[in-house]
Amino acid sequence: MSIDPGAQPSASEAVFRPVRSGNAFEETLARLLQAVRLGIVPPGEALPSERDLAGRLGVSRDVLREAIRSLTDAGYLESRRGRYGGTFVRTDLADAAPPAAVRPPGELDDVLGLRSVLEEGAVAAAARRTLTAEERDALWSRLLETSASGPVDYRRTDSRLHLAIGELAGIPSLLPLLADVRDRANALLDEIPLIEPNLSHSNAQHERIVLAVLRGDAEAAQRSMREHLDGTAALLRAFLD
C-alpha cells in the first residue's frame, strides 16, 4: 500500500501499523480486534486483503490467518467465498464472545487521565489547522453518522468520530496512541449500562466540538472536549469506582 507522504494519516493506518513485539500472533489479533471495536472496519464490511494486511502489519500470512481464524471462532469475523468473498466483520457483533476483562489497579484513573491529555490536545491541534473542503465534509459526515446511531451502533460510530478528529490533528504518531486509549476506554464503557438520555447529551456535545473545529476556534474546541470527557468520566466513576 502506497502512502502519500503529504497526506494526513488515517485511523486505519494507525491500527494496521507494523507489529513490533515478539508476540506476533497476540498483537496481530489485538490489532484486528481493535479495528472491529473502533469501527475502523464496520460491521458488514471486509478487512483488507490478506496480502495487503499481512504487509501492513509486517507479519506472515500464517500468523494473520491464525488470528483471523481465532476471531472468526469468537464470532467477530466471517469468511465468504466467491467472486466477492473475503473476511468480513459480522453484522451481529452483539453476539460475539467478549474477551475476558480483568481491570488492573489504577486502570480507570490511567485511562481517563491519558484520554483527557490526548483528546484535548488533538482537538485543539485540529482546530488550528486549515482544513480542506474534503476534510471538513468528512468530519461533518462522521458527526451525522454518530447522531443517527442507536444504542447498538453508538460505541462504534462514537469511536469513529473521535478518531476522525485525531486524524485532523496532523500528528502521525498521535493516532496510534488515540486508538489505543480509545480501545481501553471502550472496554471500561462496556462494563456499564448504555444510558440513552446520555446519548442525546453526548450528541449535543459532539456538535459543539465539531463546530468549534470547523470555525478554527481551538480554545472552544478544547473546552467542549473537556466537558464531554468529564461527563463520560463521571459516569464511569459512578459505576466503577
User: pLDDT tens-digit profile of 87-101?
Assistant: 999 988 766 655 556
> CA triplet 97, 99, 102: central angle to 5 degrees?
145
- Tell me the HSE value of 183 on the side-chain side, using a 13 A CA sphere: 22
- Tell me the HSE value of 64 on the side-chain side, using a 13 A CA sphere: 19
CA distance 182 to 186: 6
**Per-residue confidence (pLDDT) for residue 11, from 0 to 100:** 84
CA distance 136 to 221: 15
Domain ranges of the chain: 11-93, 107-240
**Per-residue confidence (pLDDT) for residue 3, from 0 to 100:** 36
Strands (E), 6-120: 77-80, 86-89
Low-confidence ranges of the chain (pLDDT < 50): 1-6
Q: Are 87 and 77 in contact (CB under 8 A)?
A: yes
Architecture of domain 107-240: Up-down Bundle (1.20)
The alpha carbon of residue 92 and the mean position of all alpha carbons in its chain are separated, in whole angstroms, by: 19
**Per-residue confidence (pLDDT) for residue 2, from 0 to 100:** 34
**Per-residue confidence (pLDDT) for residue 99, from 0 to 100:** 55
Alpha-carbon torsion angle 128, 134, 140, 141, nearest 10: -150
**Per-residue confidence (pLDDT) for residue 209, from 0 to 100:** 98
Residue burial 20-33, b: 16+ Cβ < 10 Å; e: rest: eeeebbebbbbbbb
CA distance 234 to 239: 9
> CA triplet 173, 225, 151: central angle to 5 degrees?
95
**Per-residue confidence (pLDDT) for residue 96, from 0 to 100:** 66
Q: At 20, give phi and psi (nearest 5°).
A: -110, -25
Please state, in angstroms and as integers, the Cα–Cα distance from residue 72 to each residue in 18, 32, 186, 205, following that order. Answer: 22, 11, 21, 36
Q: Return the DSSP state at 98.
A: P
- CATH class label, 11-93: mainly alpha
**Per-residue confidence (pLDDT) for residue 6, from 0 to 100:** 45
Alpha-carbon torsion angle 139, 145, 146, 148, nearest 10: 140
CA distance 14 to 23: 19
**Per-residue confidence (pLDDT) for residue 195, from 0 to 100:** 75
CA distance 25 to 189: 26
**Per-residue confidence (pLDDT) for residue 4, from 0 to 100:** 40
